[in-house]
Amino acid sequence: MTDPLVQKIQSHPGYRELRRRRNSLGITLTLLMLLVYYGYIALIAFDKAFLSRPIGAGVITLGVPVGMAVIVFTIVVTAVYVRRANREFDALNESILKDVSK
């Protein structure tokens, strides 16, 4: 069974635009995150000498800040998606629901 309201929403041009924008952003951010994460893993696997270089005279190696940067990048990617979803996608969603419920 299909709900007529669901059919109206799915056939709305704004819904298709919302899906296109949301999927485009999701794919872009996912690819960026995969590149950063697997890039870090590749560095660990193939260039241990680079990451094991000490920073200054201390015991901390270059791998620690690079690993922290991967974590911070994850938080930034999440914040970018949430901000865009709250500003753009929610407004499109409300517009679609308003049009369909008339």
pLDDT at 18: 93
Cβ contacts of 5-9, under 8 Å, gap ≥ 24: 5/100, 8/100, 9/96, 9/97, 9/100
| pLDDT classification of 3: cutoffs 50, 70, 90 | confident
The strand ranges marked E within the chain are none
The count of domains in the chain is 1
Q: What is the pLDDT of residue 64?
A: 93
Residues with Cβ within 8 Å of 95's Cβ and at least 6 positions away in sequence, in order, are 14
pLDDT tens-digit map of 45-99:
999 999 999 998 888 999 999 999 999 999 999 999 999 999 999 999 999 989 8
pLDDT of amino acid 56? 85
Q: Is 54 helix (H, G, I), strand (E, B) or coil?
A: strand
∠ CA 57-60-65 to the nearest 5 degrees?
125
The pLDDT of residue 58: 83
- The domain containing residue 44 runs over which residues? 4-100
Q: For residue range 11-31, list pLDDT tens digits in order.
A: 888 999 999 999 999 999 999
